[in-house]
Amino acid sequence: MQENNLFGWYNNSNQNQKEKEKEQNKYKTLLTVAVLIGVVLYPFLFVGVIPLVIVMSLDKKDQAAHIDDMNYKSFLKRGGSFFMALAGGFAIVNIACFILLIPRGYFSCYLLFPLNLLDTALIFTYQTVLALVMGGSGMGAALIAFSAFVSKRRVVSKEDERLKVTQSKDYEERRKNSFQESQRFTEEEEAAYQEAKRKGDVEKLLELRSRILLGASEFGKPYYLCTSELNKHVLIPGTTGSGKTTLIQLFVQHAAKFDIPLVLIDGKGARATLTEMETIASFYGRKVRVFTDTGHMKYNPIKHGNEVVIENKLVALAKTESEYYTIAAKLLLLGTVQLIDTFSEVTGFKRSLFLMQKYMMPRKVLDLFAKEIWKKKPDMFVIEVVAKTSNKKGKGPKKESIELSDDTEDTSSIAEPQKKEREGMDRQLRKRMESFEEQPETERIRLDPKTIDLDSYYQLVKRYSNLLTPQQLRIFERLFVRYEHKENPFYLYATSEALQSNINMLLDSELGRLFDPEGAEEELDIGEIAKNNEIVYISLNGLIYSEFIVVLAQMLVHDINYYASEMYIQGEEKPFFAIFDEPASYLNEAFIDTVNKTRGVGLCGIFTPQTMADIKKLGDQIDEQLVGNVNTLMVGKTNSPLEREYWSKSMGTYQDIELTSVVQQEAGYSDVGKSDWTGEKGTKRNVDRFIVHPNKIRKLKQGEYIVERKASSKEIPTQSVYIRSVSDWIKKQENEKKK
């Protein structure tokens, strides 16, 4: 066994040795042939170097142009067989020309050496030039084919090629001056815009509108994002100070330049965000409209949409821990909107939160119905009651006995004539009794709807409910009658205390005035913003009104959804930037719904959270839903290792090779000629590598973002981009103007 092994090993090593020798022989033969060709055909070799140099420099440029694409094969690598065929073709043509046409031309190419040593009749003619061109081209093609062959054979991992770039001096220089680098292409883009605007060049303006210059890529090229990609939504996670708000400025600038409506909801309420927005907008002659807790713009969240839309919009106010109570609150919301809408014709109501607040009080609702009934029955509040004295006289029981005889006595066994006589007597008696009762024993009193107890009020309205219109009656039944089987007909009102308290809290707070549309000079209306291409900043002071931000943001998202649904119905599409800065304070499923459904109408959702962990905390797997629904990801500096890994994984891997080498250190000075101890042997295996390694995310600088694009029509490799600061650029322009 051992012998066999030994023998086998011996055989193997012998075979390897033979193969190696065979390789070396092949290499030596090839080298000898090449040297011989070079020596023999040297004039053509000299000329052939010219196309080789040209092609090599073109190839280098091609490589540089696609430096960001690890899978890109430069044209030299792609065109190996073409150059081989070209070299073959030239060889045949050259041989034919040499034998049949211009042998003297070919020979005269050697006039410099060695033929100048001989006494020869050859001279330089046009044939020499022709032969040099033909021969040189043939040799050039052969040299190019050879270098294509060599570059194809070279085994280099993509990682190593990438490292060569990222460790280059140019790359490091760009990175060191990233803010400056990010502005490298700004002037050109702006100049093109200003000129197109001045000339009224619509085509150019449309071209510029269709892309946004983000800044410069890590490879020193301008980096654009297509406006149409934004429509598939953008997620920009980055730690505090990583430059998210600076990035958002790019969208504000684009909206200001090209009249695109934009709404920015700022979850933090940072003053600087607004100031910078205003600086940018005014540079392009635009205004920013502002909805803040201290501003004068009003918002009527229930202005548009049917009752279901409103119910969804206000559901954040209706939510309680108990599903049971939440449903009751939703039903009350629904019913109250229907009530306001139904009565709007007769009362001239205009929907508002204050009206909702008012008509969540059952007495006010009963008043509404009562007023309608009163129009048809003015004495509805006048009732007759038995006077207190009549009880003493015992009139009540008498009436009761009459009614009883009327209702309960069985008259079937009495003979017909007797029956008639008896009925006649009853009627007489009843008449007498009634006239007797109408006198001092009963009194008419007028009830006061303000003080009457709720139950009696309800009974009174119900008694005359047949005087309501069918729609009014339907609402009355929905709000009260349906719940008679419960403890009381006011069940909806009694179980929706949380909703009522939340609405009261919102409207009774300092913010309340923002929701009063009465006499509003300016109103926040998503539909109008879209129609008039406005730029709007929306924010509440995050530190004081953190709870209300959630409510407000959700209402606005429903407004956006409603706007989108209207656009769908009209079959229209128009870009609309909706930016959600710091959304972790207000994101919920409604947003995901918006992201999902609003693509078709041109809505571009841009989300800039600090960490995905904050969004994860919101539950319902909102983080995953959000990541799954956006198609452009821009990852900034991230502090959490877990999150770095998460983004890295989500951006995927590429197939590469891994090369290993053995270390071969020899004793003495035998390897003194080698620059390192890397041996000749090594291994190669396929590996998967991260397209963006977590370390790369760790090392991101302020204002540097890794951009992954899934919505682009072209395949654009994921790479990092130095984002330009629009406000810095504008400040610089204005300073220069002052000078």
Ligand X SMILES: Nc1ncnc2c1ncn2[C@@H]1O[C@H](COP(=O)(O)OP(=O)(O)OP(=O)(O)O)[C@@H](O)[C@H]1O
- Tell me the closest approach of the beta carbon of residue 580 to Mg ion, in angstroms: 12
- Tell me the closest approach of the beta carbon of residue 344 to ligand X, in angstroms: 43
Question: At how many degrees (to 10) do helices 589-597 and 546-570 cross?
Answer: 20
245 binds Mg ion (CB under 5 A): yes
Which H helix or E strand runs over 619?
none
Closest to ligand X by CB, 377 or 701: 701
User: CA–CA distance from 402 to each of 357, 408, 423, 424 (Å)?
Assistant: 49, 10, 12, 14
Positions 582 through 621 that interact with ligand X (CB under 6 A) = 610
Phi-psi region of 500 (alpha: psi -120 to 50; beta: other; left: phi over 0): alpha
Q: How far apart are CA 189 and CA 215, in angstroms?
A: 10
Asked if 45 and 137 touch (Cβ cutoff 8 Å), the reply is no
- DSSP 8-class letter at 101: I
Q: How far apart are CA 244 and CA 723, in angstroms?
A: 10
For ligand X, which stretch binds (CB under 6 A), given 56-64, 244-252, 406-414, 467-475? 244-252
The SS3 call for residue 691 is coil
Closest to ligand X by CB, 87 or 584: 584
- Tell me the closest approach of the beta carbon of residue 293 to ligand X, in angstroms: 19
Residue 683, binding choice from ligand X, Mg ion, none, Cβ under 5 to 8 Å by partner class: none
Q: How far apart are CA 548 and CA 557, in angstroms?
A: 14
For ligand X, which stretch binds (CB under 6 A), given 2-10, 412-420, 711-719, 720-728? 720-728
Among 48, 79, 136, 243, the residue binding ligand X under the rule CB under 6 A is: 243
Among 174, 232, 233, 244, the residue binding ligand X under the rule CB under 6 A is: 244
Question: At how many degrees (to 10) do helices 126-153 and 42-65 cross?
Answer: 50
Among 46, 75, 82, 179, the residue binding ligand X under the rule CB under 6 A is: 179
182 binds Mg ion (CB under 5 A): no
Closest to ligand X by CB, 239 or 565: 239
Residue 300, binding choice from ligand X, Mg ion, none, Cβ under 5 to 8 Å by partner class: none
Write a three-state SS string for 427-458.
HHHHHHHHHHHHCCCEEEEECCCCCCCHHHHH
Asked if 241 and 700 touch (Cβ cutoff 8 Å), the reply is no
Residue 723, binding choice from Mg ion, ligand X, none, Cβ under 5 to 8 Å by partner class: ligand X
Asked if 380 and 494 touch (Cβ cutoff 8 Å), the reply is no
- How many Cα atoms are found within 13 Å in the side-chain-facing hemisphere of 175? 16
Q: What angle (nearest 5°) sits at the alpha carbon of residue 147, between those of residues 112 and 59?
A: 105
For Mg ion, which stretch binds (CB under 5 A), given 164-172, 236-244, 292-300, 727-735? 236-244
- Tell me the closest approach of the beta carbon of residue 705 to ligand X, in angstroms: 9
Residue 243, binding choice from Mg ion, ligand X, none, Cβ under 5 to 8 Å by partner class: ligand X
727 binds Mg ion (CB under 5 A): no
Residue 424, binding choice from ligand X, Mg ion, none, Cβ under 5 to 8 Å by partner class: none
Residue 259, binding choice from ligand X, Mg ion, none, Cβ under 5 to 8 Å by partner class: none
- Tell me the closest approach of the beta carbon of residue 248 to ligand X, in angstroms: 8
Q: Residues 678-717: x/- map of binding to ligand X (CB under 6 A)?
A: ------------------------xx--------------
186 binds ligand X (CB under 6 A): no
Q: Please give the structure tokens belonging to residue 36.
A: 């011989």
Q: How far apart are CA 140 and CA 44, in angstroms?
A: 8
241 binds ligand X (CB under 6 A): yes
Number of other CB atoms surrounding residue 683 within 10 Å = 10
Positions 373 through 412 that interact with ligand X (CB under 6 A) = none
Number of other CB atoms surrounding residue 372 within 10 Å = 22
- Tell me the closest approach of the beta carbon of residue 245 to ligand X, in angstroms: 3
Closest to Mg ion by CB, 244 or 298: 244
Number of other CB atoms surrounding residue 700 within 10 Å = 22
- DSSP 8-class letter at 701: P
Q: How far apart are CA 489 and CA 685, in angstroms?
A: 78
Residue 728, binding choice from Mg ion, ligand X, none, Cβ under 5 to 8 Å by partner class: ligand X
Cα 248 → chain centroid: 12
**In the block, which residue shows the tokens 């009880």?**
391
Among 63, 246, 300, 629, the residue binding ligand X under the rule CB under 6 A is: 246
- How many Cα atoms are found within 13 Å in the side-chain-facing hemisphere of 462? 14
- Tell me the closest approach of the beta carbon of residue 723 to ligand X, in angstroms: 4
**Alpha-helix runs per DSSP H in 598-661:** 612-616, 622-629, 641-650
Write a three-state SS string for 458-522.
HHHHHHCHHHCCHHHHHHHHHHCHHHCCCCCCCHHHHHCHHHHHHHHHHHHCHHHHHHCCCCCCE
Q: Residues 527-556: x/- map of binding to Mg ion (CB under 5 A)?
A: ------------------------------
Q: Which neighbouring-strand residues pair with 579?
A: 264, 606
For Mg ion, which stretch binds (CB under 5 A), given 240-248, 331-339, 433-441, 517-525? 240-248
- Tell me the closest approach of the beta carbon of residue 277 to Mg ion, in angstroms: 12
Cα 44 → chain centroid: 61
Among 725, 726, 729, 730, the residue binding ligand X under the rule CB under 6 A is: 725
Residue 109, binding choice from Mg ion, ligand X, none, Cβ under 5 to 8 Å by partner class: none
Q: Phi then psi for 411, rounded to 5 degrees?
A: -100, 5
Among 63, 182, 539, 598, the residue binding ligand X under the rule CB under 6 A is: 182
- Tell me the closest approach of the beta carbon of residue 280 to Mg ion, in angstroms: 15
Closest to ligand X by CB, 395 or 724: 724
Residue 210, binding choice from Mg ion, ligand X, none, Cβ under 5 to 8 Å by partner class: none
Q: Please give the structure tokens belonging to residue 479.
A: 């709000």
User: CA–CA distance from 107 to each of 41, 75, 96, 132 (Å)?
Assistant: 10, 35, 14, 10
Write a three-state SS string for 399-413.
HHHHHHHHHHCCCCC
Which H helix or E strand runs over 236?
none
Closest to ligand X by CB, 135 or 243: 243
Positions 221 through 240 that interact with ligand X (CB under 6 A) = 238, 240
Positions 484 through 543 that interact with ligand X (CB under 6 A) = none
Q: Which neighbouring-strand residues pair with 385?
A: 443
What b-and-e string marks burial along 456-489, b requiring 16 or more CB atoms within 10 Å of the CB? ebbebbbebbebbeeebbebbbbbbeebeeeeeb
Q: Please give the structure tokens belonging to residue 714.
A: 């072209």
**In the block, which residue shows the tokens 């280098």?**
60
Closest to ligand X by CB, 680 or 736: 736
Q: Please give the structure tokens belonging to residue 319.
A: 């939510």
Among 74, 137, 217, 242, the residue binding ligand X under the rule CB under 6 A is: 242
- Tell me the closest approach of the beta carbon of residue 253 to ligand X, in angstroms: 13
Size of the site for ligand X (CB under 6 A): 16
- Tell me the closest approach of the beta carbon of residue 534 to Mg ion, in angstroms: 22
- Tell me the closest approach of the beta carbon of residue 151 to ligand X, in angstroms: 38
For ligand X, which stretch binds (CB under 6 A), given 48-56, 412-420, 627-635, 723-731? 723-731
- Tell me the closest approach of the beta carbon of residue 272 to ligand X, in angstroms: 7
Residue 253, binding choice from ligand X, Mg ion, none, Cβ under 5 to 8 Å by partner class: none
The SS3 call for residue 297 is strand
For Mg ion, which stretch binds (CB under 5 A), given 12-20, 237-245, 566-574, 697-705? 237-245
Using CB under 6 A as the criterion, which residues of the chain lie in contact with ligand X when the complex forms?
179, 182, 238, 240-246, 610, 702-703, 723, 725, 728
Using CB under 5 A as the criterion, which residues of the chain lie in contact with Mg ion when the complex forms?
244-245
